[in-house]
Amino acid sequence: MEQLVENLKKQIIQALKLEDVKPEDINENEPLFGEGLGLDSIDALELIVLMEKEYGIRVENANAAKSVFTSVKTMADYIAQNKK
């Protein structure tokens, strides 16, 4: 799980072009939106693409997406549970 979280942090930084952010700057339990990394709606769409591209997981249920993309940790948990 630790490795998955680390990989995810690197992938998020690359996909969202978070130029001045390092993996160690991201607290895996902090909210990705609103506060924390301060991501926006386009970033949310990019995270959905990342999940499908890197892990083959489609998040189609909007209600589920809200909890999946709460933090890096919730994303990692979802990947661990659903990875094919």
Residue ranges binding other proteins (CB under 8 A): 16-20, 38, 42-43, 45-46, 49, 52-53
Pick the closer one to other proteins by CB: 1 or 45: 45
Report, in Å, the least distance between residue 14 CB and other proteins.
Answer: 11
To 10 degrees, what angle do helices 41-55 and 2-15 make? Answer: 130
39/61 Cα distance (integer angstroms): 20
Pick the closer one to other proteins by CB: 42 or 62: 42
- Beta-carbon count within 10 A of 46 CB: 17
Pick the closer one to other proteins by CB: 19 or 24: 19
